[in-house]
A and B are shown apart, each in its own frame.
Chain A
Amino acid sequence: MTDWNCALTEERLSDYLDGILSPAEAAEFSAHASSCDDCGKLIAQVGGLVHRMRALDALEAPPQLIPKILESTLGPRRAQSAGWQRWFARIPQFWQPRFAMGVVTVAATLLIVLYTSGMSPAKLKKADLSPTNVFRTANRQVHLTYARGAKFVNDLRVVYEIQTRLQPDAEPSPSNTPAPAPQQNSQPPSVNPREKSQASPHPGHSQSRNGTMLASLLNTHWAENFGSIVIGTNTRSPR
């Protein structure tokens, strides 16, 4: 009880300051401190220091510290900025000319495929997107396109043939043509309506040179070369 001394005070000083002395020890400690000037001064000094150290605010870290840490751990890209800024920083990478060109090309291809397959974006229904329907539409469209193309080529050839026949200089010898004509008169009646309309004003015995030419054209070459094609086309187009 009475043997509490200065050495003991110094030894238990932190326990006293941290409040972990037993009540009995604390009483002896206080009793000694109040009677010993040196110990009282030491307690005040250390107690004041501890109090002020704990009240001290932590120092601010240098602002570049966190970016440096993130750069050395996660790599340079992530360390630049946070949140939405980082997200926006990626946009220029996508909008390089090469990428933009690719996007435009793909979009154009899709549009062309869409229109040729006969699907209008405005009238697009969910059912149109099922594989069977897409295939059916595409198949129908291919056949239609083919038939239209074939018809167009035939029309062109008719016009071209008429043009060449109407030009006498380009024609080798019109007198030769009547000879095979009678053989070709027995052609099938299922000829193109256009052919008939062209044939009716000139029954084949016209005296004019042009008339003879046209007649021979209709009776021989036309029937021979194109009749079968026109018939073939006609039989093909109804599918």
Chain B
Amino acid sequence: MEPDAQLVQGCLRGEGPAWEELVRRHSRRVFNLCYRFTGNSTEAEDLSQEVFLRIYRTLPSYRPAFGAFPTWLTSVTRNLLVDHYRRTRRDRLTDSIEDAMPKLENKQSAGRTPDKLALASELSAQLQQGLSRLSPELREAVILRDLQGLDYSEIQTVLEVPEGTVKSRINRGRIELARILEEMGLRPQN
């Protein structure tokens, strides 16, 4: 396996296969981040596409000093997600979060989403509902730490906030999410 840095160099030389490999290697991760943040498969797909389009265009400006390629990729994704969140906030305010919940459930039970099998896991589905009730700041912190497996310093780079803030957001996010899931009747221990 070629390291990401070599693939990036290949892309900068205009090698299509290098870019293809980079996309294959990271698209699932980007999609998961988008899906966990938005809770909508179609939106997550469109956003993932947008992320890679932006990466493709801004790749010449990438420097290893910005951090490892996956961290940079996560930063780009996160910034797009925040933009998307702000863009669609007005739409979300019109229909309340209670209205959104059954929609998500219907979508899953209809079996139309491609990730039907993955969402068959009850925890995964309930977790998604719980995440959507967290504030975006806490949500992104928990997703990056516990679902994407980033360490504190990487999250600090992505979110561009001090380490103390990162730690506090992750901690508050976890506790809040646990309480939400308890309200929903999910027992994390079982």
| A110 in the interface (beta carbon within 8 A) | no
Taking CB atoms, residues of chain B closer than 8 Å to A139 are none
What would 15 A/B residue contacts be, using CB atoms closer than 8 Å?
Answer: A13-B175, A45-B182, A49-B174, A49-B177, A49-B178, A50-B146, A53-B142, A53-B147, A59-B32, A60-B114, A60-B118, A62-B31, A62-B115, A66-B24, A73-B53
Taking CB atoms, residues of chain B closer than 8 Å to A50 are 146, 174
Given A50-B146, A62-B114: A44 in contact with B41 (beta carbons within 8 A): no
Given A48-B188, A56-B147, A59-B118: A65 in contact with B31 (beta carbons within 8 A): yes
Give Cα A72 to B56, complex, Å: 10
B64 to chain A, nearest CB (A): 22
Taking CB atoms, residues of chain A closer than 8 Å to B142 are 53
Given A56-B123, A62-B41, A78-B16: A42 in contact with B175 (beta carbons within 8 A): yes
Taking CB atoms, residues of chain B closer than 8 Å to A13 are 171, 174-175
When the two chains form their complex, are residues B52 and A73 in contact, meaning their CB atoms are under 8 A apart? yes
Taking CB atoms, residues of chain A closer than 8 Å to B27 are 61, 65-66, 69
Interface residues of B (CB under 8 A from A): 16, 19-20, 23-24, 27-29, 31-32, 35, 41, 45, 48-49, 52-53, 56, 114-115, 117-119, 121, 123-124, 127, 142, 146-147, 149, 167, 170-171, 174-175, 177-179, 181-182, 188-189
Taking CB atoms, residues of chain B closer than 8 Å to A61 are 27-28, 31-32, 45, 48
Taking CB atoms, residues of chain B closer than 8 Å to A14 are 167, 170-171, 174
Give Cα A63 to B31, complex, Å: 11
Query: Would you call the interface of chain A mostly helix, strand, loop, or mixed?
Result: helix
Closest to B50 in A: A72
When the two chains form their complex, are residues B188 and A49 in contact, meaning their CB atoms are under 8 A apart? yes
Give Cα A46 to B146, complex, Å: 12
Give Cα A75 to B141, complex, Å: 35
Taking CB atoms, residues of chain B closer than 8 Å to A69 are 23, 27, 48-49, 52-53
B81 to chain A, nearest CB (A): 16
A150 to chain B, nearest CB (A): 62
